[in-house]
Amino acid sequence: MQEMAEEKKPRMPKVWEALLVLVFLIAMLSVGIIIYGVDPHIPLILGVAAAAVMAMVLGYKWNDIEHFMIKGIGKAMQSIIILVIIGILIGVWLDAGVVPSMIYYGLKILKPQIFFIAAMLICSITSLATGTSWGTMGTMGVALMGIGFGLGMNPGMTAGAIISGAYFGDKMSPLSDTTNLAPAMAGTDIMSHIKFMILPTLIVYGVCIVFYGFLGFSQYNGGVADVSKVVELEDKLTQMFNINPLLLLPPLIVIVAVALKVPAIPGIAIGIISGAVIGMIFQPGCSLGSIFECGMNGYSCDTGIYEIDRLLNTGGIMNMMFSVSMTIIAMMFGGIMEETHQLEVIVNKLKTLAKNPFGLVTLTEATCVISNAVMPEQYISLVVPGRMYAEEYKKKGLSATTLSNALESSGTVTSALIPWNTCGVFIISTLGISVTEYGPWTLFNWLMPIACIIMALFGITVADSNGKRFIKIKKSSLAKA
């Protein structure tokens, strides 16, 4: 009787059982996003339900499954907190005139003779300042497309420079949700993540600058550019805000904080405080009350100029709830899949293809690209591969930043190259150009994953558990792993 009373222990899942859950998730996301055009949250909830049902089939009780979900959410809690604080930061910086000043001075570097380089730099600065590639393409991108037409530039080339710049900022900005999500999935902090990405990303960015410089000088026909749209934006910004170089101090303070290895949360908090103080000094309409309001609900304006309104009506805690809720639901799914070993059995099959660090980075990036295609949502391409391979990187003695860099170098940037991905759909509808037209010229987006894999051979995008890149190690046993 005692033996009969003993509870049956949960068993390991079979590969087909784990794959069944993933296939169901992919199907729900594909139907929801592609066919019905809905946000990925509810389809992903259905994926959580499928993972939970499979967990019960494997012998787990509901209390265990609930614990797995909470444990999964807990792993992303730092990222969730940072997303909330970043929402406050964006709202405060907009109210204080910090972001408008960054955009204004970014526009000033636009010169017809170096149009493609300027387009990339403007979008890079805007995206770095706001943390959003979509907002950048929907504002600066639209204006720059018009200027490109006025110059007689190839629209595909113009869009390629715009998208490359926008995604550079999206990949590197501490304000970006993907820049926060990738390290959360990999198990590292945002500051370490950004620091590790700097070298490989700047190498690719430098190649892009040379490439777009050549395109600009070879394509520019010597005409006079119609910069009326940019002038209109500059004029409106100066009417709405007191533009001053001193307003660039808050972002500079955050950059210094990153360099000094200040933890993410206090570093961003310093940026919020400095922005609020300097805003109340320079902006007549900026008060403690408006800072509280913008920190909660974001900055709001109605200028009648579409580009300005779309760019500035953002920020605040509430505007971050989409990303926060997405992260929570995704980690519920990841928690169940990880704790019930459903991811483990899949990875065990896949990792036979990755016999060394180079192979693991390659496999990770390939999985991210496939995720962008079959689960057409940028966030999913970071969440699923991130949770699938996190343990494998640890077992091979690799740093979590190696994984987070691989996620960002593929999952974040390749989403723009897939027509049915939410990012591709946004670009097509916003810039009015197809993926086949801009794809070949979006150098940063397709070169970044390729370069990351190549650089893994030389140890530039691979580091050990201490964060030391292999290129500095004369002989590493990890290379034989």
Please give the Cα distance from 315 to 291 (Å, whole number).
Answer: 11
φ and ψ of 295, to 5 deg: -65, -30
User: pTM of the predicted model, to two decimals?
Assistant: 0.71
Q: Is 356 left (phi over 0), alpha (psi -120 to 50) or beta?
A: beta
Report the pLDDT value the prediction gives residue 411, as an integer from 0 to 100: 93
What does the pLDDT look like over 36-82, one tens digit per residue?
888 888 988 999 999 999 999 999 999 999 999 998 888 778 778 87
Please give the Cα distance from 285 to 140 (Å, whole number).
Answer: 25
What does the pLDDT look like over 315-341, one tens digit per residue?
899 988 887 887 788 788 888 988 898
Please give the Cα distance from 370 to 420 (Å, whole number).
Answer: 13
Counting Cα atoms < 13 Å in the Cβ hemisphere of 438 gives: 29
φ and ψ of 463, to 5 deg: -140, 155
- Those residues whose C-beta lies under 8 Å from the C-beta of residue 298, and which sit 6 or more positions away, are 87, 90, 91, 94, 313, 314, 315, 316, 318, 319
Report the pLDDT value the prediction gives residue 69, as an integer from 0 to 100: 93
Please give the Cα distance from 300 to 310 (Å, whole number).
Answer: 10
What does the pLDDT look like over 415-443, one tens digit per residue?
999 887 778 878 887 888 888 899 999 99
Please give the Cα distance from 410 to 455 (Å, whole number).
Answer: 14
Please give the Cα distance from 130 to 311 (Å, whole number).
Answer: 9
Please give the Cα distance from 476 to 273 (Å, whole number).
Answer: 45
Please give the Cα distance from 209 to 61 (Å, whole number).
Answer: 56
State the SS3 of 308-320. Answer: HHHHHCCCCCHHH
DSSP helix/strand/coil, 220: coil
Say which amino acid occupies 95: D
